[in-house]
Amino acid sequence: MALEQAAIAALPAGSFGPFGSWAAGFGNADFCLDWPSPAGGSTLGVGPLPDVPMLGVSGGFDMRTPTAGAQSVVARFPQGKLLVVPGVGHSTVTADFTGCAAKAVRAWMTGGVVPAACPRSKPLVLDVPGLPPPGQAKPAHPAGPAKTFEIVSKTVREVQAAWLMTVGLSGSASPVPGVFGGYFRATSSSDFKLVHYSIARGVTVSGFLKLKDFGPPLIFQGSLTVSGAGASPGVLGLSKGVLHGALGGRIF
């Protein structure tokens, strides 16, 4: 443990951003200080690793144990095999909605053929595109209908992802704030209400969205009212992932 603490102390200033070296104790790597024994610091045996069957499963989105690291570990086992699961993070087997990872692990345990990679799993929510520019705190003129529609489209994507990461996972009824104002709040296990929710100044979205199909990706439907000093006001509906309605007198 002394070696690890010395290595942390030797890091250059700014390695932990605005925090001190104490921040190193809040990461998962700190758990490794007690490995491979409760007291830590045990000396591992010398020589090659045992010649036993070994399967490494690596998620393409895994930031804790990237595929490059998995490859280096698997290479040390003569009977090592690596399965790469793209589009999935750290909890690789349980988060792969295609079922490929779980089937591959079973195949490995029963002496079957293990593929080198799985097909990419569809995401639960579609990627959130780059958020719109913040806009002026007090916009002198509203954005046109097309620009407003673009901002609202990004708002819908962002709020769906925010719902999944908060209320959708925890079931909490606490309000979740928007970037520039407003909030959304769960009204049931699959419904939530937006109140002047905003990811760009001057454009707010209110209304209700309901989870209709697990997918993936998740499918929502609902109705939304667009307002604010920076928006072309109007009403939009969301059905099967598509927004439609009218903003500033223009039909979408």
- Asked if residue 247 and residue 170 are part of one domain, the reply reads yes
The pair of three-digit structure tokens given for residue 185, joined into one six-digit string:
């709040």
The pair of three-digit structure tokens given for residue 250, joined into one six-digit string:
């223009």
Helix (H, G, I), strand (E, B) or coil at 227: strand
Question: In this model, does residue 221 exceed pLDDT 70?
Answer: yes
The pair of three-digit structure tokens given for residue 235, joined into one six-digit string:
């009403």
Question: In this model, does residue 231 exceed pLDDT 60?
Answer: yes
CA dist., res. 219 & res. 32, Å (int):
40
**What is the reported pLDDT for 41?**
64
- Asked if residue 241 and residue 149 are part of one domain, the reply reads yes
Which domain covers residue 237, as residue numbers?
145-251
Question: In this model, does residue 1 exceed pLDDT 60?
Answer: no
- When divided into structural domains, the chain yields a total of 2
Nearest in space to 22 (alpha carbons), one of 9, 36, 3, 33: 9
Counting Cβ atoms within 10 Å, is residue 140 exposed (0-12), middle (13-18) or buried (19+)? exposed
**What is the reported pLDDT for 170?**
87
**What is the reported pLDDT for 171?**
85
Does residue 88 contact residue 95 with C-beta atoms inside 8 Å?
yes
**What's the farthest any 2 CA atoms get from each other in the chain?**
76
- Asked if residue 94 and residue 149 are part of one domain, the reply reads no
**What is the reported pLDDT for 127?**
81
Nearest in space to 200 (alpha carbons), one of 173, 222, 181, 213: 181
Per the domain annotation, does 6 fall within a domain? no
Name the residue with higher pLDDT: 46 or 111.
Answer: 111
Name the residue with higher pLDDT: 16 or 45.
Answer: 16
The pair of three-digit structure tokens given for residue 133, joined into one six-digit string:
């520019």
Name the residue with higher pLDDT: 31 or 233.
Answer: 233
Q: What is the mean pLDDT of residues 164-178?
A: 91
Phi then psi for residue 194, to 5 deg, are -100, 135
**What is the reported pLDDT for 137?**
84
Helices (H), 50-165: 67-74, 92-95, 100-109, 145-165
pLDDT winner (highest mean) among 33-37, 124-128, 195-199: 195-199
- Asked if residue 199 and residue 246 are part of one domain, the reply reads yes
**Which of 121, 137, 157 lies at the terminal end of a domain, its last residue?**
121
CA angle centred on 92, ends 16 and 108, rounded to 5°? 135
Does residue 114 contact residue 89 with C-beta atoms inside 8 Å?
no
* Exposure b/e, 100-114, CB count within 10 A at least 16 = b: bbebbbeebeeeeeb
pTM of the model: 0.71
**What is the reported pLDDT for 125?**
86
CA dist., res. 132 & res. 198, Å (int):
11
Per the domain annotation, does 158 fall within a domain? yes
Q: What is the mean pLDDT of residues 18-31?
A: 77
> For residue range 27-67, what is the model confidence (pLDDT) as tens digits?
666 777 666 666 666 676 777 888 999 999 999 998 878 89
**What is the reported pLDDT for 90?**
83
- Asked if residue 157 and residue 240 are part of one domain, the reply reads yes
Name the residue with higher pLDDT: 100 or 23.
Answer: 100
Q: What is the mean pLDDT of residues 155-174?
A: 92
- Asked if residue 239 and residue 162 are part of one domain, the reply reads yes
